[in-house]
Amino acid sequence: MEIINIITDNFDIAYILSINVLTYSIIKIIDYFNGTKKVVCGIKRLILLICTIVLAIVYKCYTDIDFYILLNSSICAPVIYSWVIKPIIQKIGIGYKK
């Protein structure tokens, strides 16, 4: 139970999922319009950074979540994507172009 309390006190799961869903959606749209070329890794990282900043501003304006929770969640979001969400997406077969 202690681990669950630490996670809920230091991270915002909804914020993490929002970053991942928004970033994935934007990259998938760019991937669709890009034709046969794949999206460059640098562009993906830039999109992640922009989505993180925009969502952090929105969350800070409309919620009372502390800055350190948003910062922790922003750092955790790409890790959760690459370790948890990406394998699930690849298993389903809806990932990006290779």
Confidence (pLDDT) at 98? 59
How many other C-beta atoms lie within 10 A of the C-beta of residue 32? 9
Assessment of whether the complete model's pTM goes beyond 0.85: yes
Cβ atoms 77, 16 nearer than 8 A = yes
Inter-residue contact 23 to 51 (CB < 8 Å): yes
6-52 pLDDT per residue, tens: 888 899 999 999 999 999 999 999 999 988 888 899 999 999 999 99
